[in-house]
Structure 1
């Protein structure tokens, strides 16, 4: 019988096997050949041969194999996504140049997810500074009490040391002090200064450790109480102290080695040359290891491992990290100066009224209670504001470098509860 118009000639087609009630008289071999293509692969979706090579992200115009529904990712425990680094996951590459053009028909990348204070993508300078300030503003109940307590304790001890120890140093005197008097006075003052410096170091380490935990939670959109931050930071405090002492002592030894030949030979020019070499070397090492503290706290690593991690993360981005760190230092110094200097000037004016003009010669103006207390109040306010900004910028620089190099944004998205984040390519906008 002739085929009537509009009817297809019976024969095997890829859609026959999917229609209910299809004819049964098909070739068994053809049916068997099609069966494997109809079955989804066991164990969920796998990376296919069409997967782009590492280091690239697929665009919407790239042909892809048919996708099967992906099971939701299990919810990680709080704080997940940081862990010790074991290399990028399979299929996760590094970010290329941000903002590159996409494939045919692409309307641009959709806005990055922002579960917390930063978007989950490579950050620019403004986003890093804004993230630090936003965390201090939105989580002030946790951030400000930590820095306020630490700054207050440190400044109270500093005032007591300066009032009862440094005030004993002779400034001017009608009688020439004996050598033993000078040695005793300087010895006691140096001991008090060392003790004061150690207390300041301990306070700074505790504040830095707890603030690091708070900022890491803020990135995920989670809040953290002071007690929770303390419990998370406490196991790593001794290691953070060791890291800080190692970097400080190492810097002192480096400077000593470079200027020692000039001192030993009595050659001032050689000593100055050693100092000129030491300063840029210290700066380079300081930036190179600037991310060791957040790496140690968030990855629960050792001192040596955190130094290696910082060196690896900073590699290739030294100038960028240096610029952001230097700008942050300039901003915080300017803010601190605005707060401290007016109170210090007021204290000096009160001291001049109490001690008279001779107080400047004897040092009584600066050693009076009014200038010491007002200066300490200004320092407490300044440190309460600037310490979180400095700590936050360091933590966000660490997060940014890991997003750029290790696709940490995928882990952070899962930790924040964003299912299937980054699993599919961006689709063009719908609705028109």
Structure 2
């Protein structure tokens, strides 16, 4: 799939397209199953939360009618705690699903680099066994991104309060300055950490390494090639975003066309039938829109990760003379899964 020598940018891009073309079925299957399971668990948690707080909703309504602020605050706190736990469950499920897709890319790439076929079962077993380690490698970059976003959000809200609402006084101005200023200062650090540890998920899968070991190994492999890896990664993510936007265009047009028949019939039928027809038309539009979003999300998920996995292979070829071992493995018997 790739030449067994240090890879040029064209080799990385060509290998990424080739890997996705050969292994799109197990990759998409892993994404559908992972995110589908995460959505089902989240929906179940939401339903359970609503069922458990039916009495709370009634008490909240009674307190609102009675203008009982103390009881109202108590019920609001109860709802906030309950649905806060639901939000945590949903977030954990989505994080694990993301780790599954991050692990699936190098799992498929292991065989793709050697020119061997693979199956959904093989990719799924490798991904699910390495997902906890991959999740651990993603924690630090995610934490850095969350910190920067929290600072920007705090600064923006404080700025709006001070400039638009004319409230908050000096405290709002200080929070706005600190939040926005510190957020801007930390953006370069966040980008540096993102590139430094970008190879960690591939290390966790290829080398069956733990989270901390994978982070240290990624830092060693990136050292001396930071700008090259940053440039190629930025190019790949930009290509994925453009492709994602282009993919959504035909689905948006199909969604708009699906609304035309229903909108034309609303004046020819009764009021109830017109309402049903409008809902069906909107349902068709939402269906096509969600389908387009799902397909584009597949591209933005797997294309960059496959490219970064190839950058990991490239760094090992450059630094550790991995090419002879790959050649020997490619012509040897396939491993037993």
Flag whether TM exceeds 0.5 (same fold): yes
1:137–1:257 distance in 2 versus 1, CA, 3 Å: closer
Quote the Cα distance in structure 1 between the aligned partners of 2:180 and 2:36. 39
> Which digits, 9 at most, give the CA deviation of each residue in 1:364-409, with x for residues without a partner?
99xx644443322112222334433122101101000111111111
Tell me what 1:245 maps to: 139
- For the pair 1:327 / 2:235, whether they are aligned, the reply is yes
Task: Indicate the structure with greater helix content.
Answer: 2
Query: Is the 1:123–1:400 Cα contact (8 Å) retained in structure 2?
Result: yes
Q: Please report how far the alpha carbon of residue 148 of structure 1 lies from its aligned counterpart in structure 2 after TM superposition.
A: 4.0
Quote the Cα distance in structure 2 between the aligned partners of 1:277 and 1:375. 37
Tell me what 1:232 maps to: 126
Query: Is the 1:148–1:384 Cα contact (8 Å) retained in structure 2?
Result: no
RMSD: 4.2
Query: Is the 2:141–2:193 Cα contact (8 Å) retained in structure 1?
Result: no
1:222–1:194 distance in 2 versus 1, CA, 3 Å: same
1:155–1:376 distance in 2 versus 1, CA, 3 Å: farther
Structure showing greater radius of gyration is 1
Q: Please report how far the alpha carbon of residue 233 of structure 1 lies from its aligned counterpart in structure 2 after TM superposition.
A: 3.5
1:239–1:307 distance in 2 versus 1, CA, 3 Å: same
Tell me what 1:118 maps to: 2
> Which digits, 9 at most, give the CA deviation of each residue in 1:94-135, with x for residues without a partner?
xxxxxxxxxxxxxxxxxxxxxxx1011111111111111111
The within-5 A match list for 1:145-294 is: 145-150=29-34, 194-253=88-147, 266=172, 267=174, 268-294=176-202
Quote the Cα distance in structure 1 between the aligned partners of 2:83 and 2:291. 23
Tell me what 2:289 maps to: 375
Query: Is the 2:136–2:211 Cα contact (8 Å) retained in structure 1?
Result: yes
Query: Is the 2:151–2:180 Cα contact (8 Å) retained in structure 1?
Result: no
- Aligned length, in residue pairs: 283
**TM-score between both structures, scaled by the size of structure 1:** 0.55
* RCO higher in structure (CA 8 A, sep ≥6): 1
Query: Is the 2:31–2:100 Cα contact (8 Å) retained in structure 1?
Result: no
**TM-score between both structures, scaled by the size of structure 2:** 0.69
The within-5 A match list for 1:338-377 is: 338-344=246-252, 347=255, 350=259, 353=263, 369-377=283-291
**Secondary structure of 1:139 counterpart:** helix
